[in-house]
Amino acid sequence: MAAFLLLFLVFSSQLIGGMNAQLPSSAYENIITILSIDGGGIRGLVPAVVLQHLEKSLQ
């Protein structure tokens, strides 16, 4: 539980503070990366929302 809370706080601090750093262009732009979150019900809801906000901020 403590590890999950720490992870949540790190991600939320990045989202609240904003991610203003520009990522350098790389030769791997055409690679698709897939992340799978295993957690049913309410346990999977929080990581899904955090990843949704992270995805929006990175686009």
Alpha helices in the chain (DSSP H): 2-17, 42-58
In a domain, 51, yes or no: yes
The predicted structure's pLDDT at residue 15: 60
Instruction: Tell me the pTM.
Output: 0.37
Integer Cα distance of 45 and 4 in angstroms: 13
Domains in the chain: how many in total?
1
Integer Cα distance of 45 and 50 in angstroms: 9
The predicted structure's pLDDT at residue 21: 60
In a domain, 54, yes or no: yes
Low-confidence residues in the chain, pLDDT < 50: none
In a domain, 23, yes or no: no
In a domain, 29, yes or no: no
The predicted structure's pLDDT at residue 32: 77
The predicted structure's pLDDT at residue 56: 81
41-50 per-position pLDDT tens digit: 777 778 778 8
Range of the domain at 44: 1-17+37-59
